[in-house]
A and B are shown apart, each in its own frame.
Chain A
């Protein structure tokens, strides 16, 4: 098709200017761009600065009297008239390279300029001396105007363009005076370089915006600059010094990025080579070498001893994946974006080096790489590697706990749990709040009609099961379950009163069909039927027998296959099991699992009820046995999305219970709740709130510390355990007070929180500790 074109392409000048400078927002971003430009200018194809002379100085000056604040960068390159010419063009990608064939870190053609245009109220310019020629060119004018964005020689062509100067040192001193710095005070390396080269460049801006009262928070700014992705190569290849108000920072030493202490056991970086092809989100294979035209890349994983997002100032900004192509940094993404809610990921950061990301994935500003299929594919690969390392770290953080000591602490915890009820608001004495059966959370209770006090028995007489005796308990071969959570046995005395202290154990008639482990779990061992029953430990009292049928599972069909669960609510997934004989049923107990990194997104009980516990997505499967050894699981999983719940989540009734991780059964799953080092010691999830449970999380760092010293000094442990119980009581009271108004609850002042907290601490702490003292010292005195 023919076309008669306009003579030239037209852009709206101001609109374009605003657009190309929009990305820059902070001074650390701007100075990082300056550093990047200086590093590039030192290369052999430009100023050719010798290795020993490669240094720069960041200059910072607060406002004083009538003199505004200013920010500058001094380098030893020496800007020339030709440089000025190239610098004057906006968005010139060859500005830094001058068309050189040498492949180097690319500059943007507007990085430093955008900063000078946008983040200073006063003049911002670049000046320098090279071969005794002085040049000064820059911006001046009102914010966001075309005038400001049009560069010019300062103060005029005759006084700012290619002037011959007698002494470069005199010119430099004139430029340094507003910073209260004398030439002699510059670091030796810088002085030597300038003297040797007879050249320097100063890029500076006057009256920076967003600086409160003209006072520059120098330490903070320097740290941010050093952490910036665009400054990475500059830090590696140049010595960077800094002055603030005439005083040299860091004791006159070159600035360095603070080293991150690695996680013990993971001291060395872990390097993974990126495969030549990777699948993207749609499963389409993407070449990571641009079909062999670029070298293969790699992912380097580093560990941190400290939890990075928790160290808000120092480590959180570095908790990221930095992307680097062959010649430049192209931005970063937070680790949490690739592996949200993965335990252990707080201790990992990464660098991706991949040449194929250039040029398609390089975005203006280099703050974050562009999205696209290759980036998706690489991110999937990186996420998988981070997950593996995070998992290893997370497992290492779990304490190896002594099982016998755990049993003892479990008993102690029961005592403390009973004891604390004396100090809690009135409620049923059974702590029996729990989820209802209509998918709407806990059972409804009339607050005006509290349950009558319950009597407890001492001498066991019978065991009753919450199970229809004519019903067969069907279980898949290889499935392991806690029997209590299914048959829910109760030991009663002759008056029908509950005997809470009675211990029961489970027994089987044929361990070749169903095996009992530790007296509490049942495992379907082979096809067939048998009977199981409970016995009160140390007595001959037995429960009715329950017929158990073990099925060899051939197929599992799950329905629905996708479901959305509002937080705190539950939905049922039906698992229809077909056994090897072709019989089918939906009441066969299976093991359930889901594949989210965060194991607490949903809680699943053995009957397939799924409770939404945290916002997120996962996919669920059910089955029996180890698939590697002939076990069968549903081939098609159920996709679950836990979504926010606009309705208030109801709390379970009765006294809140203090349970212990690693020992007690989570009523939401029927399984033992395992501890988590990333959760607090007094731990309560949404499902726990509904069940009115608090967990003593023995995996938390403090609980783990005291627990491990328990054998050396049991009083130390008891004191800690008792104090946590007191804290729980205080928190329960606090919660009652602050949420008593229901939906009318208002945000409150810290002073009121503090007052209430201290009041409850005094009120309950005093009375609780009267009894707890003797418990801590002797282990007795709570009955």
Chain B
């Protein structure tokens, strides 16, 4: 992968793609990520004065984590997800963004499409979404919305933000792909439709509706974020 000409976050994303092989279930350590990024661009990720010989873990840490408002790390941007301490995994939105950065590279389009299909299917088949389809007045209680997002009272504010944003970022990534390709739906190799623009928009409606409806609860759980 050619890393030159890309900013640091984009380089990290490409390194994450390399480490995961484009598989959003596969985890990798920060050290793996660092070595991978360093191999792509030693000047950018090398230890000062020893760029050719040693990677610098400080540099990557700065780009992964939050560095205050307006300076989000790749986790805040929703490209990577923290699976454990210094262990990460790629998100569907990260995969899609990686494909946008270097579409000709190692991530097969089929893999990206299938990953997004699985994520969207998970939303569309969710009981809370189904209940909303048949009765738009539902969900009436935050616990149902929490069930959908995977949060509950007591969930750390950062996790609340990540999980709520995760849904939105995945859907927006799917929409971006559809728009970029100028099509109405994305199909697999055998012609099977994997996801459809109108379905994705419907899911975004739902997400927006849910956020609107439970704004108060979200603010209580995560007072620093603007939902």
Contacts and interface: CB of A to CB of B under 8 A. Distances in A.
* A and B associate: yes
A289 interface: no
A574 B199 contact: no
Contacts of B124: 557, 559-561
Interface in A657-707: none
A559 B125 contact: yes
B166 to A, nearest CB: 20
A576 B189 contact: no
Interface in B14-73: none
Complex A-B, nearest 9 residue pairs according to Cβ-Cβ distance, in ascending order: A283-B189, A283-B190, A560-B125, A555-B198, A635-B193, A576-B133, A586-B134, A559-B124, A635-B196
B202 interface: yes
Contacts of B195: 636
Interface in B116-171: 121, 124-125, 129-130, 133-134
Given A282-B189, A636-B199, 4 more contacts: A555-B198, A557-B198, A559-B125, A586-B134
Contacts of A555: 198
B10 interface: no
Contacts of B133: 557, 559, 574, 576, 586
A279 B190 contact: yes
B189 A284 contact: yes
Centre residue among A284, A562, A635, A637 by max chain B CB count within 10 A: A635
Interface of B: 121, 124-125, 129-130, 133-134, 184-185, 188-190, 193-196, 198-199, 202
A578 interface: yes
A636 B190 CA distance: 13
Contact of B199 (A279, A284, A557): A557
B125 A574 contact: no
Interface in A572-613: 574, 576, 578, 586
A574 B134 contact: yes
Nearest to B184: A635
A561 B120 CA distance: 11
Interface of A: 279, 282-284, 555, 557, 559-562, 574, 576, 578, 586, 635-637
Given A284-B189, A574-B134, A559 B129 contact: yes
B52 to A, nearest CB: 29
B91 to A, nearest CB: 21
Contacts of A282: 189-190
Contact of B202 (A557, A560, A574): A557
Centre residue among A279, A282, A559, A578 by max chain B CB count within 10 A: A559
A206 B86 CA distance: 74
Contacts of B125: 559-562
A374 to B, nearest CB: 16
Nearest to B194: A636
A283 B133 CA distance: 34
Contacts of A562: 121, 125
Contacts of A283: 188-190
Contacts of A574: 130, 133-134
Given A559-B130, A561-B124, A578 B189 contact: no
Contacts of B193: 635-637
B189 A635 contact: no
A387 B62 CA distance: 61
Contacts of B121: 561-562
Centre residue among B134, B184, B199, B202 by max chain A CB count within 10 A: B199
A628 B202 CA distance: 26
Contacts of A637: 193
A635 B120 CA distance: 14
A772 B59 CA distance: 95
A636 B196 contact: yes
Given A559-B133, A586-B133, A635-B185, A578 B190 contact: no
